[in-house]
């Protein structure tokens, strides 16, 4: 069953690694423009859920539906193409290419999608302005701070106008001030482009930027409507 108006849903997901049951009947849904935080203790299955939703990991059982398509029915090539065209990703660290400048990093997914260099760099520059890191266009990732690097990564993830932004502990390596700055900018930018956000975090302070929280425990998920 797909909840009405949902963009991405998962039903009855199971995933086992050897003797470890990472997912044990997890459910999920997100609407366009909605920010959903996936919370829960370490090892509870949060990242596995995100990887399944993004088509990176194939669940052993269960259905994932994105925009009316069952991900399991797509070929690997079609799933990769969907990830490039419709999904954006922000991870905890290590996602920027160290040899490229920040501008080239932000322009990279646009270039991979076939945009010409000038057009890609103009879009990249606009996103860097939005994330207030446009003074770093010529720097390499090793020359910027952790918070600046994460804002560059958010600019890169949003530059292709994804319909779903997957963020796995995007502030995990930052101090609280920088973490809040990244979260404010990430959620504001995603809401203004009507992108859905799947945000994995174990920090309540970070989850507070979401519209809804899902708690994962022992591979099962539970919806927690926030009353606020
Ligand atoms: N590729 C893998 N190979 C083997 N076991 C894995 C793999 N990925 C995850 N697991 C196991 O599955 C369980 C769930 O892992 P997962 O990374 O989804 O949890 P998590 O909630 O994201 O944890 P954390 O908050 O610590 O990042 C853990 O016991 C983990 O060790």
Model pLDDT, residue 93: 77
Model pLDDT, residue 2: 59
| Residue-wise DSSP of 145-203 | -HHHHHHHHHHHHHTT--SEEEEESTTTTS-HHHHHHHHHHHHHHHHHHT-EEEEE-S-
Of ligand 1's listed atoms, the one at least distance from the Cα of 49 is 18
35, 116, 138, 185 from 195: Cα distances, Å: 8, 24, 28, 13
> Whose C-alpha lies nearest to ligand 1, atom 26?
42
pTM of the predicted model, to two decimals?
0.92
Q: How far is the CA of 127 from the centre of ligand 1 (A)?
A: 33
Please choose from 13, 15, 20, 222 the residue to mutate so as to test ligand 1's pocket, defined by most ligand atoms within 8 A of CB. 20
Tell me if 52 CB under 6 Å of ligand 1. Answer: no
> Whose C-alpha lies nearest to ligand 1, atom 4?
17
Tell me if 46 CB under 6 Å of ligand 1. Answer: yes
70, 165, 196, 212, 213 from 30: Cα distances, Å: 15, 11, 7, 9, 11
Tell me if 43 CB under 6 Å of ligand 1. Answer: yes
| pLDDT tens, residue order, the chain (228 aa) | 456 789 999 999 999 999 999 999 999 999 999 999 999 999 999 999 999 999 999 999 999 999 999 999 999 999 999 998 999 999 887 689 999 999 999 999 999 989 999 999 999 999 999 999 999 999 999 999 999 999 999 999 999 999 999 999 999 888 888 889 889 989 998 888 999 999 999 899 999 999 999 999 998 887 765 444
Q: How far is the CA of 42 from the centre of ligand 1 (A)?
A: 8
Model pLDDT, residue 222: 79
Tell me if 58 CB under 6 Å of ligand 1. Answer: no
Q: How far is the CA of 134 from the centre of ligand 1 (A)?
A: 36
Q: How far is the CA of 169 from the centre of ligand 1 (A)?
A: 14
Model pLDDT, residue 227: 41
Of ligand 1's listed atoms, the one at least distance from the Cα of 15 is 12
> Whose C-alpha lies nearest to ligand 1, atom 7?
17
ipTM of the complex as predicted: 0.96
């Amino acid at each position: 069953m797909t909840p009405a108006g949902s963009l991405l849903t998962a039903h009855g997901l199971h995933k086992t690694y050897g003797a470890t049951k990472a997912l044990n009947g997890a459910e999920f849904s997100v609407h366009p423009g909605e920010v959903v935080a996936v919370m829960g203790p370490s090892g509870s299955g949060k990242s596995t859920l995100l990887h399944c939703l993004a088509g990176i990991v194939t669940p052993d059982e269960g259905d994932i539906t994105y925009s009316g398509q069952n991900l399991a029915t797509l070929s690997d090539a079609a799933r990769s193409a969907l990830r490039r065209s419709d999904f954006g990703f922000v991870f905890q660290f290590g996602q920027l290419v160290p040899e490229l400048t920040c501008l080239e990093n932000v322009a990279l997914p646009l270039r991979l999608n076939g945009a010409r260099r000038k057009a890609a760099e103009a879009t990249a520059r606009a996103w860097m302005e939005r994330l207030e890191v446009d003074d770093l266009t010529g720097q390499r990732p090793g020359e910027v701070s952790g918070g600046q690097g994460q804002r560059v990564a958010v600019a890169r993830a949003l530059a292709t106008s994804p319909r779903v932004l997957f963020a796995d502990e995007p502030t995990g390596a930052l101090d609280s001030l920088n973490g809040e700055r990244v979260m404010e900018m990430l959620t504001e930018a995603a809401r203004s482009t009507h992108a859905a956000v799947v945000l994995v975090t174990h920090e309540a302070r970070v989850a507070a930027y979401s519209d809804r929280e899902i708690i994962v425990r022992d591979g099962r998920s539970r919806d927690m409507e926030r009353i606020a």
